[in-house]
């Protein structure tokens, strides 16, 4: 059994930042990453990030990922296991994982769960045809594997993922027929929407997909305008020829480990699903288990990085590391999060977090 001070589950923006901040206080950290390349969603984000200098705004996502990974790799107190899937977390605090083809047991003193999120799917006739992808999968094919994923795409969903992946498809030389969105308003940043509109990709709000059709693979889709009750308006149907349909209809927090660990959970729609109840320091109701990033509510990567920082600091401080420096650094991280969430785009998150605080243990 491997003994570690702090185990971080997931090597994405939240996990890497948790590892780095915990080690900065003196703790030894093991990061378990399922993929062969740590960085999580950052590795495929070719666009420039928003936020402020503190969250590396202006740098492209993959550049931020590389920078965090290089820092972690050169840090003697941080060990990274790639191709390692964490499988379970038990009452006695033992965590099991598949590592190097073996079933390995780990006994951490503290655990930070930064498992991220999974893409949501959408029910419509024909949605099982080959050629229907989550937008994130298409982004991986393009930007990680270097595979041109399609010739002509219909994008469903005008949140930031739908808008950004449409832009990146266009950059890869793929035609995007349209971005459709059932809500009356664009959910993602409007600068992303403006950027793809002026590249000739129409963004159509109040539209839904009626069906996908094709012989053995996607050959097109029928879309229609919907009314205030989400019912298709007769006469507004359009036929869109495409070989791929991308679904960018939201993410769900990957909380299996939190459930298994016995963390108190709550369904909070503003945070996009069931999330663990945490205190202000991101500790769950199970002492010693912390969460950071999308697992505690779907948000931007910039917030995930700061949450990771906060959870890592809290976990290390609880082991007695950097007890003098920790409170100031934790306060800074909390202020950074407040700043990122202060605007109208952060309203949903603020509401969700208020509900978390009301249910649980804000210290």
Residue 220 CA to residue 79 CA, distance in Å, equals 47
Quick note: the x/- pattern for another protein over 20-49, rule CB under 8 A, is ---------------------------xxx
Nearest distance in Å: CB 135, another protein: 17
Q: In the set 345, 357, 359, 361, which binds another protein (CB under 8 A)?
A: 345
Does residue number 198 form part of the binding site for another protein (CB under 8 A)?
yes
Looking up tokens 């945490």, which residue turns up?
278
Contact between 197 and another protein (CB under 8 A)? yes
195 binds another protein (CB under 8 A): yes
Kindly state whether residue 52 participates in binding another protein, applying the rule CB under 8 A. yes
Tokens of 123: 């029910």
Q: Is 205 in the site for another protein (CB under 8 A)?
A: yes
- Under the binding rule (CB under 8 A), the answer on residue 190 touching another protein is yes
Closer residue to another protein (CB): 287 or 344: 344
CA atoms of 183 and 177, how far apart (whole Å): 19
Which lies closer to another protein via its Cβ, residue 112 or residue 246? 246
CA nearest to 238, candidates 250, 226, 227, 223: 223
Backbone angles phi, psi at 104, to 5 degrees: -115, 140
DSSP 252-296: EE--HHHHHHT--EEEEGGGTEEEE-B-TT-BBSSTTEEE-GGGG
Residue 185 binding another protein, by CB under 8 A? yes
**Subset of 299-338 contacting another protein (CB under 8 A):** 302
206 CB contacts (<8 Å, ≥6 apart)? Answer: 181, 182, 183, 184, 225, 226
Total number of residues binding another protein (CB under 8 A)?
Answer: 44
Under rule CB under 8 A, residue 146 binds another protein: no
Residues 32, 95: Cα–Cα separation, whole Å: 11
Contact residues toward another protein (CB under 8 A) are 47-53, 57-60, 63, 170-171, 184-186, 189-206, 302, 339-346
């Amino acid at each position: 059994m491997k003994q570690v001070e702090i185990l971080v589950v997931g090597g994405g923006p939240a996990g890497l930042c948790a590892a780095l901040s915990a080690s900065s206080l003196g703790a030894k950290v093991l990061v378990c990453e399922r993929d062969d390349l740590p960085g999580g969603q950052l590795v495929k984000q070719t666009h420039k990030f928003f936020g402020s200098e503190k969250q590396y705004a202006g740098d492209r996502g993959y550049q931020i990922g590389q920078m965090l990974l290089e820092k972690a790799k050169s840090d003697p107190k941080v060990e990274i296991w790639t191709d390692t899937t964490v499988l379970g977390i038990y009452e006695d605090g033992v965590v099991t994982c598949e590592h190097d083809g073996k079933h390995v047991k780990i006994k951490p003193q503290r655990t930070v769960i930064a498992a991220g999120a999974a893409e949501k799917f959408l029910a419509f006739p024909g949605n099982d045809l080959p050629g229907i992808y989550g937008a994130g999968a298409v982004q991986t094919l393009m930007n990680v594997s270097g595979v041109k994923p399609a010739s002509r795409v219909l994008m469903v969903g005008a949140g930031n993922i739908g808008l950004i992946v449409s832009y990146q498809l266009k950059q890869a030389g793929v035609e995007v027929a349209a971005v459709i969105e059932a809500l009356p308003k664009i959910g993602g940043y409007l600068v992303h929407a403006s950027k793809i509109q002026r590249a000739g990709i129409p963004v159509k709000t109040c539209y839904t997909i009626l069906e996908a059709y094709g012989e053995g693979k996607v050959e097109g889709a029928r879309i229609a305008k919907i009314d205030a009750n989400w019912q298709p308006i007769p006469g507004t149907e359009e036929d869109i020829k495409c070989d791929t349909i991308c679904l960018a209809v939201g993410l769900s927090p990957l909380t299996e480990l939190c459930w298994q660990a016995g963390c108190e959970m709550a369904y909070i729609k503003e945070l996009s699903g069931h999330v663990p109840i945490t205190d202000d320091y991101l500790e769950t109701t199970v002492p010693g288990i912390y969460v950071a990033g999308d697992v505690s509510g779907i948000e931007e990567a910039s917030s995930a990085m700061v949450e990771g920082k906060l959870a890592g600091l809290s976990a290390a401080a609880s082991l007695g590391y950097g007890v003098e420096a920790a409170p100031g650094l934790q306060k800074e991280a909390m202020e950074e999060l407040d700043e990122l969430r202060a605007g109208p785009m952060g309203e949903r998150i603020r509401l969700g977090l208020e509900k978390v605080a009301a249910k649980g243990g804000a210290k």
